C-alpha cells in the first residue's frame, strides 16, 4: 500500500486511540505524528515524531514540505487548534478534507455565529467585543442575563455569566482575570497572524484570546453530539448529556453517554445536526456539536470539525464499538464508510475539580478502583505539587473518571463508588 498518514496528537491520548492507530498500521499505512514537542507514547506506533510549532500555520506547512514526504491523510482526534491547518494541508496534498474557511468558521465563535445567522440556524443573539468598553455596550444591547466568552477558546475557559447587578459590579474584575488567564495559556489556542489568515482566505481578523462575544443566556438541558460526515452525509455516533457548573461559570462537571430521550426528540436532534453541518459547509470530517434545549426550542451553542475531547472517544468506542479517530482517518483517506450504531453499554464520567485554591498535595487511587473492569479510564491531568484553583482565578481540571454499566443507573452508581474511594487533598 505504501501510504503515509500524519496524526496530530494531544499531549496525552487514550488507550483506544492507540489501538486505532495500531489498526491503521496493521492495514499497511505508515503513521507519523506532528506535535510541538517529543511525547512519550505507550506503544511503538509512529514511524517518526515530527516536531515544530504547530501554532504557526505557514511555518508548519513549510516544515512539512521540507520532510520530502507525501501524506495521503492528515487528521487529529480532538486537537481544536489544528483543524484549519489540516484543511489547508488537505488542499496541498490532495486528500479529502474540509475547505479551510469552513474549518476556520468552526474555530472562531464569531464567524460561526455569523454562519448560523446567515443560514437560520437557531442560536443565541450575540455581539463581538474588542475591549471592555465594547462589552459594556453589548451587555446593554443583549440585556442581562447574558454570557461572555472568548472567540477562540475551548472547554468554557474564560467564559462567565452576568446574572444581575451584583455580577455587573464584578464584571471588570472577572473580565480582566479571564483575559490574564487566556493570555497565559495562549499557546493552546493558535493566535493567527495575518499571513496565516491570508493562507486560509480570511480577511477579517479576530484575536482568538482577547476578542469576546456577549451572547444571550440560554437556559436548559445541554447535550453534545459527535458525528461523522462523508461526502455531505452525516451519521451520529454518540450523544452525551452534559452537566455544567452552576453560573456564573460554565465549566463542565460530568457527562453521560448515550443521552436517553424519546424518538421525537431524537429526530429533532438529528435534523438540527444535519442542518448545522450543512450550513457550516462541512463535507468530510468528524464534528462535535453542543446544543441547549431552551423554552424556544433547541439552539446550537457551537460546532467543531473534530471529535469531542477527553473521555468522549473512549466512551463512544465502548458504547458503539466505533473509534471516532479511526473513522476520521478513513474519511480523510476516501474510504467509503457505512454505520450501524447500536448501544452496547452506558457510560458516566465526572471531572475532578479543585474546590478551593491551593497546592494539590495528594491524589491516591486504590487498586480496587484502578483494576475494576467497569472503570474504563482514570485520567490525571494535574501533578501533585501543582497549584490549582477554581474560576475565576483559574480553570483547572485535576482529572476525570469514566465508567460503564449495563444501564444509566448502574453506570452512575459505578461512578460514585469509584469517586468515593479516590483520595484528594489540597493544602
pLDDT of residue 210: 85
pLDDT of residue 188: 58
pLDDT of residue 357: 85
Q: How far is CA 122 from CA 142, 290, 318, in A?
A: 16, 12, 32
Strand ranges of the sheet holding 285-294, from the earlier edge strand across to the other edge: 297-304, 285-294, 221-230, 233-244, 252-257, 346-352, 399-405, 375-380
DSSP string, 195-217: HHHHHHT--S---TTT-EEEEE-
> What is the CATH architecture assignment of 349-426?
2-Layer Sandwich (3.30)
Q: What confidence tens digit (pLDDT) does each residue in 66-112 have? A: 999 999 999 999 888 899 999 999 999 999 999 999 999 999 999 99
pLDDT of residue 120: 96
The stretch 177-181 carries a mean pLDDT of 82
Q: What confidence tens digit (pLDDT) does each residue in 17-67 have? A: 999 999 999 999 999 999 999 988 888 899 999 999 998 888 999 999 999
In 3D space, the residue among 42, 36, 34 whose CA is nearest the CA of residue 13 turns out to be 42
| pTM given for the model | 0.89
243 has a pLDDT exceeding 90 = no
Strand partners, 303: 289
Q: What confidence tens digit (pLDDT) does each residue in 185-216 have? A: 665 566 677 888 888 888 877 877 788 999 99
pLDDT of residue 156: 67
Q: Find the length of the chain.
A: 427
pLDDT of residue 187: 58
Gyration radius (Cα) of the chain, Å: 21
How large a percentage of the chain has pLDDT more than 90? 63
217 has a pLDDT exceeding 70 = yes
**Weakest mean pLDDT among 189-203, 214-228, 283-297:** 189-203
User: How far is the C-alpha of 222 from the C-alpha of 208, rounded, in Å?
Assistant: 24
Tell me whether domains 3-102 and 349-426 share a fold. Answer: no
**What phi and psi, each to the nearest 5 degrees, are found at residue 321?**
90, -5
Q: What confidence tens digit (pLDDT) does each residue in 261-280 have? A: 999 999 999 999 999 999 99
pLDDT of residue 191: 66
Residues near 232 by Cβ (< 8 Å), separated by ≥ 6?
A: 278, 283
Secondary structure class of 228 (helix, strand, coil): strand
In 3D space, the residue among 50, 42, 95, 45 whose CA is nearest the CA of residue 71 turns out to be 95
Q: What confidence tens digit (pLDDT) does each residue in 316-337 have? A: 999 999 999 999 999 999 999 9
pLDDT of residue 1: 59
**What phi and psi, each to the nearest 5 degrees, are found at residue 134?**
-60, -40
**Angle ∠(68,76,347) on CA atoms, nearest 5:** 155
413 has a pLDDT exceeding 70 = yes
Q: Where are the domains of the chain?
A: 3-102, 349-426
pLDDT of residue 11: 83
User: How far is the C-alpha of 307 from the C-alpha of 325, rounded, in Å?
Assistant: 8
User: How far is the C-alpha of 370 from the C-alpha of 377, rounded, in Å?
Assistant: 8
Strand partners, 45: none
Provide the mean pLDDT of the chain.
90
Sign of CA pseudo-dihedral 122, 125, 131, 135: negative
User: How far is the C-alpha of 263 from the C-alpha of 274, rounded, in Å?
Assistant: 16
pLDDT of residue 256: 95
The stretch 292-308 carries a mean pLDDT of 94
Q: What confidence tens digit (pLDDT) does each residue in 148-158 have? A: 998 887 666 77
**Helix (H) / strand (E) containing 346:** strand 346-352
Q: What is the CATH number of domain 3-102?
A: 3.40.50.20
Amino acid at each position: 500500500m505504501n501510504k503515509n498518514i500524519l496524526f496530530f496528537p494531544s499531549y496525552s491520548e487514550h488507550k483506544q486511540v492507540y489501538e486505532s492507530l495500531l489498526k491503521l498500521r496493521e492495514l499497511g499505512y505508515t503513521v507519523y505524528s506532528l506535535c510541538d514537542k517529543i511525547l512519550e507514547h505507550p506503544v511503538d506506533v509512529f514511524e517518526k515524531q515530527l516536531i515544530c510549532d504547530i501554532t504557526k500555520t505557514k511555518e508548519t506547512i513549510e516544515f512539512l514540505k521540507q520532510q520530502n514526504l507525501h501524506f495521503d491523510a492528515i487528521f487529529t482526534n480532538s486537537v481544536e487548534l489544528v483543524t484549519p491547518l489540516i484543511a489547508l494541508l488537505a488542499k496541498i496534498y490532495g486528500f479529502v478534507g474540509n475547505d479551510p474557511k469552513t474549518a476556520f468558521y468552526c474555530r472562531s465563535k464569531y464567524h460561526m455565529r455569523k454562519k448560523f445567522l446567515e443560514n437560520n440556524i437557531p442560536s443565541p443573539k450575540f455581539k463581538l467585543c474588542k475591549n471592555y468598553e465594547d462589552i459594556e455596550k453589548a451587555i446593554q444591547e443583549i440585556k442581562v442575563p447574558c454570557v461572555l466568552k472568548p472567540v477562540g477558546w475551548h472547554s468554557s475557559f474564560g467564559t462567565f455569566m452576568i446574572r444581575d447587578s451584583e455580577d455587573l459590579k464584578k464584571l471588570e474584575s472577572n473580565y480582566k482575570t479571564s483575559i490574564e488567564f487566556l493570555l497565559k495559556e495562549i499557546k493552546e489556542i493558535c493566535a493567527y497572524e495575518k499571513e496565516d489568515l491570508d493562507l486560509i482566505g480570511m480577511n477579517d481578523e479576530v484575536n482568538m484570546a482577547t476578542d469576546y462575544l456577549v451572547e444571550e443566556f440560554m437556559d436548559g438541558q445541554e447535550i453534545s453530539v459527535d458525528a461523522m460526515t462523508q461526502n455531505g452525509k452525516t451519521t451520529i455516533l454518540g450523544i452525551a448529556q452534559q452537566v455544567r457548573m452552576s453560573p456564573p461559570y460554565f465549566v463542565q462537571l460530568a457527562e453521560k453517554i448515550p443521552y436517553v430521550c424519546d424518538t421525537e426528540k431524537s429526530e429533532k436532534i438529528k435534523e438540527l445536526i444535519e442542518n448545522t453541518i450543512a450550513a457550516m459547509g462541512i463535507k468530510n470530517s468528524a464534528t462535535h456539536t453542543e446544543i441547549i434545549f431552551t423554552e424556544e426550542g433547541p439552539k446550537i451553542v457551537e460546532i467543531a470539525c473534530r471529535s469531542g475531547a477527553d473521555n468522549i472517544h473512549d466512551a463512544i468506542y465502548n458504547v458503539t464499538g466505533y473509534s471516532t479517530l479511526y473513522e476520521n482517518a478513513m474519511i480523510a483517506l476516501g474510504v467509503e464508510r457505512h454505520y450501524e450504531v447500536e448501544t452496547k453499554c452506558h457510560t458516566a464520567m465526572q471531572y475532578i475539580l479543585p474546590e478551593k485554591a491551593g497546592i494539590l498535595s495528594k491524589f491516591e487511587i486504590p487498586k480496587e478502583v484502578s483494576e475494576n473492569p467497569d472503570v474504563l479510564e482514570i485520567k490525571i491531568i494535574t501533578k501533585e505539587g501543582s497549584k490549582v484553583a477554581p474560576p475565576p482565578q483559574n480553570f483547572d481540571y485535576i482529572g476525570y473518571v469514566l465508567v460503564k454499566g449495563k444501564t444509566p443507573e448502574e453506570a452512575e452508581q459505578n461512578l460514585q463508588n469509584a469517586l468515593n474511594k479516590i483520595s484528594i487533598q489540597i493544602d
